[in-house]
């Protein structure tokens, strides 16, 4: 497959929700997004994609009830025979309170939700992983730049590092408050992934990875009288999984995947529990084009240089 460039279009529901629960109440914040679009270009071990929110799709345009949300991002990766490296960046601005009825007793379906148009979420994330089985193709499942011809699976440990910011940029009026949280997170995990080749070009893929780690939270509370800074160190648990069915032919490919990730931690010295849960249902379609000669030659030189 080294002579092809892979072009891929994905529509998925990968959105960033924020939830905090205490003994007496809970806050569930979601962006006004039902799905996002991802455009990807992959060649050999290199992958790159751009993420954006199309406003013309149903569920992304309900401004009166849930407010306005802007979002986008990109990611790129290098998947070698054993070593895997991935980086991503996402940004979302504009959230609404999913459980508005807990705070407004007269609220009913069809009424506007409590909105936070100036609530900003930024996420910088990286993953370094190792594939123990060279007969298992991560690229065949993730970027479709390769094809898995025989069923295979692999144990894949990884190290994940993440820095994210949640910032309520609501202007202070002298009677209100706002907060900004900056979190640095490190996780170590290991899981198993398997691709079952069903018949010729059809396959079924499964995988699950638990992770444990620590995060360092720096919280700034903006009060009318001034700023208050607090710091926390918390133990965190995360679980990632996926299941998918796809067709991966010589040129054309398509598939349907379901992916989830959930993480939670008890905030130090409090009863609050912070969680970040995502469930993404994605549909993708793509096509492979012949790579131009100059690209094949230059990438091959780079591969020879680093002895891939």
Residue 16 — φ and ψ, nearest 5°? -100, 110
pLDDT score, position 297:
78
pLDDT score, position 225:
84
Give the number of other CB atoms < 10 A from CB of residue 307: 5
Q: What is the pTM of this model?
A: 0.86
pLDDT score, position 81:
84
DSSP 3-state of 296 = helix
pLDDT score, position 269:
58
pLDDT score, position 189:
97
* 10-249+257-305 CATH: 2.40.128
Which residues of the chain carry a pLDDT beneath 70? 1-2, 22-23, 56-61, 265-277, 307-308
Per the DSSP assignment, residues forming a β-bridge with 151 are none
Q: How many distinct helices (H) and strands (E) make up the chain?
A: 3, 14
pLDDT score, position 23:
63
Q: Which two tokens stand for residue 118?
A: 């100036």
Q: Which two tokens stand for residue 103?
A: 């705070």
Give the number of other CB atoms < 10 A from CB of residue 286: 21
User: How far is Cα 9 from Cα 286, in angstroms, rounded to an integer?
Assistant: 6
CB 232 within 8 Å of CB 259:
no
User: How far is Cα 4 from Cα 220, in angstroms, rounded to an integer?
Assistant: 49
Write down the domain spans for the chain: 10-249+257-305
Q: What angle do CA 15, 280, 239 make, to 5 degrees?
A: 95
User: How far is Cα 262 from Cα 285, in angstroms, rounded to an integer?
Assistant: 27
- Count of alpha carbons within 13 Å of 281, Cβ hemisphere only? 1
Spell out the residues 6+ positions from residue 200 whose beta carbon is closer than 8 angstroms to its own. Answer: none
- Count of alpha carbons within 13 Å of 29, Cβ hemisphere only? 25
User: How far is Cα 200 from Cα 194, in angstroms, rounded to an integer?
Assistant: 17
pLDDT score, position 116:
92
């Amino acid at each position: 497959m080294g002579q092809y460039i892979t072009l891929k279009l994905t529509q998925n529901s990968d959105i960033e929700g924020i939830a905090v629960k205490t003994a007496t109440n809970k806050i569930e914040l979601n962006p006004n997004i039902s799905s996002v679009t991802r455009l990807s270009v992959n060649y050999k071990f290199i992958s790159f994609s751009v993420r954006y929110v199309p406003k013309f799709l149903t569920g992304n345009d309900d401004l009166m009830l849930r407010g306005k949300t802007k979002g986008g991002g990109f990611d790129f990766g290098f998947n070698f025979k054993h070593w895997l490296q991935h980086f991503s960046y996402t940004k979302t601005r504009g959230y609404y309170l999913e459980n508005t009825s807990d705070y407004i007793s007269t609220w009913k379906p069809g009424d506007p939700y409590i909105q936070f148009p100036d609530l900003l979420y930024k996420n910088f994330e990286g993953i370094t992983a190792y594939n123990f089985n060279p007969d298992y193709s991560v690229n065949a499942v993730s970027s479709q730049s390769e094809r898995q011809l025989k069923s295979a699976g692999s144990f894949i440990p990884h190290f994940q590092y993440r820095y994210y910011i949640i910032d309520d940029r609501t202007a202070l009026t002298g009677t209100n408050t706002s907060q900004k949280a900056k979190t640095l997170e490190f996780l170590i995990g290991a899981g198993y992934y398997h691709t079952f080749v069903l018949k010729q070009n059809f396959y079924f893929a499964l995988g699950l990875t638990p992770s444990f780690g620590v995060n360092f939270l720096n919280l700034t509370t903006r009060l009318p009288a001034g700023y208050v800074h607090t710091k926390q160190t918390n133990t965190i648990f995360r679980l990632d999984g996926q299941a998918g069915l796809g067709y991966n032919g010589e040129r054309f490919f398509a598939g349907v995947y379901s992916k989830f990730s959930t993480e939670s931690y008890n905030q130090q010295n409090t009863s609050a529990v912070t969680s970040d849960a995502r469930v993404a249902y994605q549909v993708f379609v793509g096509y492979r084009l012949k790579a131009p000669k100059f690209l094949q030659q230059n990438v091959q030189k780079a591969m020879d240089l680093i002895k891939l």
